[in-house]
Structure 1
C-alpha cells in the first residue's frame, strides 16, 4: 500500500510543476503529515524533491545529479522488458539501442525486479511470410513527432508508390533515398504517426491539396520545418487505422522487392483495403474490379498472397508473374484428388 502511494506521489510530482502539501494530501487521500513522510521516503530513494515552507509553500521535483531507482510494480517491469525486446524492426539502428536500454532499465530496478526480468528473455524470429517493411530513420521519426506535437507545419519531398509526384503535391525535382525519382513537394500539417504492418505513416493534412493523407515515412525526403503553426483539425475518420488502410497509395515501392507485379482482381476496393498486406497498393477500376500492385520475394510467393482473396484475377504484368500463375495453377491441379 505504501509503495503504491509512493509511486502515485511520484507520478503527481512529475505531472505538475508544483504542489502544495494540502493539494497532494487531497489527491492521495491522506493527511499532510503522511505526505511529508512520503516525501522523505522519495528523497531516501534518491529523488530530489525541493520544498518551500510557509503560506506560499510547495513541493517540486527537481533535477537530480544521479538517477534514482526506478519505481515500478512487477507488471510494469515485465511490460517494459517485453516492449523493448519486441520493438518494431522497421526503425534503422534500433536493435543495439533497445538492448542497451533494457540493460539500463535493469540497472535502475530493485534487485528482485531485475532478477525477474531475466526470466523474460525473448528472441524474435523472422517470419518469411511476413512482408518485411522498409526501415526508417529514427531522426525522421523524432522530427515528425515533434512537429505533430507542436503543431508546426512540415515541408518535404514525397514520392508515390510508382516513383512519381505525390497526389496533391506540386511537381518538383528531388532525389530520395534508394532512387533518383522525382517527388512532389508537400506542405503538411502533421497529425499523428501510425505503425501498421511494420510500416510507418504520417497522417497529415496537405495544405496545398486541401486533403488528408497517410504518407509513408520511407518515401519522405528533404524534411524541413517552417516554424509556422497551424490550428488543430478533425481527422475525417475517427478510426485512424481504418483511414491508413484505406489509402490506395499505402504500399511499398517497386524497389523494395525483387518481384513486383500488377493484377486486376474481381474484388471491391473496400475489401482489398481491409485484407491486403501492408506492402500492397491498389486502385478501384470500377465497383467490382480493383487493380492491385504488390511485391514479394518470389513470383510464386506473390501469387500465393493473391490467391488468399479466393477471387478471380487477371495478371497485367510482368510476364514473369503470368508464368508463375500458370505454373502454380498446374501444380495445384496436379495435387487435387482424382475422382
Structure 2
C-alpha cells in the first residue's frame, strides 16, 4: 500500500511541475503529514524533491546529481523497448550501448509486458537503396549540442562536397540546432565571417574548437528548420562516400529538387528551370532509377559510366513496351542510344 502510494506520488510529481502539500494530500487521499513522509521516502530512493515552505509553498521534482530509478507505465515501457530496437545506426559506437540499454529494459519488465514486447521483436535489415548515412562521432554531437545551448561560438574546418579528403575551410559559427534527415546529421549555424546562415554536415566537420566567446540570440531565416535544411545546396554526401557518383542537369526547378531529393544529394540552380544535381549510390542503375522519379528530361554530365547505364536502362525499358497494331516487335536486346 505504501509502495503503491509512493509510486502514485512520483507520477503526480512527474506529471505537473509544482504541487502544494494540500493538493497532493487531496489527490492521494491522505493527510499532509503522510505526504511529507512519502516525500522523504522518495528522497531516500534518490529522487531530488525540493520544497518551499510558507503560504506559496510547493513540492517540485528537480534534476539530481545521479540517475534515480525511473518509473514508466506499460505503454512507455513498450515504446522505449521498440525505440531501442529501431534506433538509427548513424552515430559511431552506439550500437553496443543501444543493445545493453534494451537488455536492461527487458530484464526489468514484468512477465505480461515481456510477453507483449516479444510480439514486437524487430530485426532491422540494411537496404542499399536507402543510401546508408556516414557515421558521426558522439563526442562531436555532444560538444555542438552544448555549444548551441550555451550560445558559445565555435571554430571548425569544414570540407565542402567538392573538396578532397583532408581539405577544408575554417568556419567561425554560431551553432543553433542539430537536425537529423535521412540519417544524416546537420548543424544549422550562423557563419560570422560569411554573415549568413548555413547548414553543415557533421561528417564533414573537423578540428572543432571552442572559443569561450558568447553570441546573442539571432532569428533563424525560416520558421521551418526542416525546410531550411532541405533548401541548402551543399548538403549531400561527398564523392568518396559511394562507389558510384554522378552529376546531371535536370529540367526541373531547384525548389522542387530541394523538396524531393534525398539528404545524400546536393544541387545548384543553373537557372530558373535547370538544376544541376550530384549524388552517389550503390550502383549506376540505382542512380538512374532515382533520377527517373522526377519525370523530367535530364542530361548526364558525367561520368561516362552513368551515361552508359542510362543507355542500358533505356534499352531494357524500351524492349518491354508491347508493339502497337501494325508495328514490328522490338528487339529483345538493349538499344544503345547515341552519345
* Both proteins in one fold, TM over 0.5: yes
| Post-superposition offset of 1:102 | 1.5
From 205, 224, 228, the equivalent of 2:213 is: 228
2:142 corresponds to: 142
- Larger mean Cα displacement after TM superposition, 112-121 or 294-303: 112-121
| 2:244 maps to 1:259 | yes
Give matches, 1:292-303, under 5 Å: 292-303=277-288
What residue ranges of structure 1 are gaps of 5+ in the alignment? 165-178
* RMSD over equivalenced CA pairs, Å: 3.1
Aligned counterpart in structure 2 of residue 291 of structure 1, from 276, 284, 287:
276
Distance 1:326 1:109, change over 3 A: same
Q: Does 145-154 or 22-31 show the bigger shift?
A: 22-31
| Per-residue CA distance 1:273-294 (angstroms, 9 max, x = gap) | 0111111100000001000111
Query: Does the aligned pair in 2 maintain the 1:163–1:183 contact within 8 Å?
Result: yes
The 3 A distance-change label for structure 1 pair 235 and 275 is same
Q: Does 1:76 align with 2:80?
A: no
Distance 1:95 1:102 in 2: 11
Which residue of the partner structure matches residue 173 of structure 1? none
Alignment of 1:65-144 (within 5 A): 67-68=68-69, 70-108=70-108, 112-113=112-113, 116-144=116-144
Match of 2:265 among 263, 266, 280: 280
Q: CA deviation at 1:31?
A: 6.5
Give the TM-score normalised by structure 1: 0.83
Q: Which residue of 2 aligns with 1:171?
A: none
The 1-side partners of 2:133 and 2:293 are apart by 20
For 2:334, the equivalent position in structure 1 comes to: none
Matched position secondary structure for 1:89? coil
Correspondence 1:171-250 to 2 at 5 A: 179-180=165-166, 182-250=167-235
Counterparts of 1:212 and 1:65, CA distance in 2 = 38
CA contact (8 A) 1:9 1:28 kept: no
Paired position in structure 1 for 2:293: 308
CA contact (8 A) 1:204 1:212 kept: yes
Deviation at 1:248, TM superposition (A): 0.4
1:162 match: secondary structure:
coil
Residues 268, 337 of structure 1: CA spacing in aligned structure 2 closer, same or farther, 3 A cutoff? same
**Structure 1 pair 201/39, CA: closer, same or farther in 2 (3 Å)?**
same
Preserved contact between residue 42 and residue 49 of structure 2 (Cα < 8 Å): no
Give distance in 2, aligned partners of 1:26 and 1:163.
Answer: 66
Deviation at 1:35, TM superposition (A): 3.1
* TM-score, normalisation: structure 2: 0.83
Q: Deviations over 1:2-58 (max 9, x none)?
A: 65553131466xx68xx87468669999963463364266368x3455788976998
Classify 1:113/1:308 alpha carbon distance in 2 versus 1 (closer, same or farther; 3 Å).
same
Which string of whole-angstrom CA distances, capped at 9 and with x for unpartnered residues, describes residues 241-265 of structure 1?
A: 1110110001111000111111001
Matches within 5 A, 1:17-28: 21=21
Runs of 5+ in structure 2 lacking a partner? 325-339
Count of residues paired in the alignment:
318
Secondary structure, counterpart of 2:323 in structure 1: coil
Contact 2:161–2:239 (Cα < 8 Å) also in 1: yes
1:75 CA drift (Å):
1.3
Distance 1:216 1:94 in 2: 19
Structure with higher Rg: it is 2
